[in-house]
Amino acid sequence: MKQLRPAILGCITLVVFCVIFVVPFFFIALQAVKDRQGSSLLNFSWPSETQLWQNLVDVVQARDYQLLLAYFNSTVITVFSVTGLVIFAAMVGYVLQRRPSKWNKYVNFAVLAGLMIPPAVVPTIWLLQQIGLFKTIHGMILIEIAYNLSFSILLYRAFIATVPRDLDEAARIDGAKPLQLFFRVILPLLKPVTVTNIVVQSIAIFNDFTNPLYYLPGKDNVTVQLTLYNFQSQFSTQYHLLFMNILLVTIPPLIVFIFFNKQIVEGMTAGAVKG
């Protein structure tokens, strides 16, 4: 009896999570292979006619291959923002953790504020316009870095607390300058959180819908999430293409997540217990 109870509980949990996570995904995949009439019903009925390949080609070719441009834009934004995030957040976390000064209070406050206070869209756009970054990819990259910096800093700071100070001192005695100390001794030791940061932030930024919508309008600036608008209009929606598009857009983050989910958990909890 004693062994049975956890097993039953485990099964129930599995079933519940299956329903929550797998069923929607299955629904998307199912609609993506149907034809226009079939998908407009939005039900689980088995497709009378499958046209996976045709849907795929239609989606990719839509609006002069816009999806490919969107992939390119999203990739550029994601790669550069995540790189910037990792370097800045690790540096800020390191300084906050290792050099107590009277400024720390304010920096900590700013970090928390960045986490808690929702950004105001209109003033941000105004500011971007003033400095000529509105509707530009690099402006978007800076926005993503700014919005996600707080979370990354918190992750890094907790982890840096577990790196023994003796290492810094040994490196100083060995003759390391501050930047050498950071890049050659500290940063390599932060690999577990860096992986976490890369995975979590790249998924978040790749999947970001609202920020590109506000700050990066323009036909040439589309990101993958915005291509979902291609098949929706006020009067008719081509559900089979929309769902195919969703499927294509979901796949890259899903792959990243499946491959790295173990490291994510490790990095998240690494700061908690000393290993």
Partner 1 sequence: MSGLELKKVCKSYGAVEVIKDLSLQIESGEFVVFVGPSGCGKSTLLRMIAGLEDCSGGTVEIGGEDVTDAEPSDRGIAMVFQSYALYPHMSVRDNIGFGLSLAKTPKAEMNARVEEAAKILQLTDYLDRKPKALSGGQRQRVAIGRAIVRNPKVFLFDEPLSNLDAALRAKMRLELTELHANLNVTMVYVTHDQVEAMTMADKIVVLNKGVIEQVGKPMDLYNNPATAFVAGFIGSPQMNLLEGAAARKLGAEIYGIRPEHIDISRESGLWRSTVRQIERLGNDAILYLDVEDVGSLTVTTDGQTDVVIGDMLFATPQPQNEHRFPTIAR
Using CB under 8 A, pick the residue from 2, 123, 166, 262 that binds partner 1: 166
Token pair for 81: 């923002």
CA distance 202 to 259: 14
Stretch that binds partner 1, among 97-105, 113-121, 153-161, 182-190 (CB under 8 A): 182-190
b/e map 42-53, b = 16+ CB within 10 Å = eeeeebeeebee
Binding to partner 1 by CB under 8 A, coded x per residue (else -) over 117-156, reads ----------------------------------------
The residue within the footprint of partner 1, chosen from 188, 233, 273, 274 (CB under 8 A), is: 188
Q: Which of 8, 173, 179, 273 binds partner 1 (CB under 8 A)?
A: 173
The smaller minimum CB distance to partner 1, of residues 4 and 173, is found at 173
CA distance 96 to 153: 9
Residues of this chain, 190-209, that bind partner 1 according to CB under 8 A: 191
Identified binder of partner 1 from the candidate list 17, 83, 103, 174, rule CB under 8 A: 174
Segment contacting partner 1 (CB under 8 A): 89-97, 107-115, 180-188, 192-200?
180-188
176 contributes a contact to partner 1 by CB under 8 A = yes
Return d(Cα 119, Cα 213) in angstroms, integer.
14
Using the contact rule CB under 8 A, the part of the chain among 34-42, 116-124, 163-171, 264-272 near partner 1 is 163-171
Q: Work out whether 175 is an interface residue with partner 1 (CB under 8 A).
A: yes
State the minimum distance, in angstroms, from the CB of residue 212 to partner 1.
37
Of 185, 195, 204, 256, the one binding partner 1 by CB under 8 A: 185
CB of 172 to partner 1, least distance (A): 5
Should residue 180 be labelled a site residue for partner 1 when binding is judged by CB under 8 A?
yes
The residue count for the chain = 275
Q: Does 101 bind partner 1 (CB under 8 A)?
A: no
Q: For the purposes of burial, counting CB atoms within 10 Å of the CB of 199, is it exposed (0-12), middle (13-18) or buried (19 or more)? A: buried
What value, to the nearest 5°, has the Cα angle with vertex 254 and ends 252 and 260?
A: 105
Residues 135 and 217: beta-carbon distance below 8 Å: yes
Position 169 contacts partner 1 (CB under 8 A): yes
If the CB atoms of residues 27 and 183 are measured against partner 1, the closer one turns out to be 183
139 within 8 A of 126, measured Cβ to Cβ: no
User: 238 near 151, Cβ under 8 Å?
Assistant: no
H or E element in which residue 216 lies: none
CA-CA distance, 244 to 250, in Å (whole number)? 10
The distance of closest approach from Cβ of residue 188 to partner 1 in the complex, given in angstroms and rounded to an integer, is: 5
Count of C-beta atoms within a 10 Å radius of residue 140: 27
Q: By CB under 8 A, what part of segment 19-48 binds partner 1?
A: none
The answer to whether 257 touches 190, Cβ cutoff 8 Å, is no
**Residues found near partner 1 in the complex (CB under 8 A):** 164, 166-167, 169-176, 180, 184-185, 188-189, 191
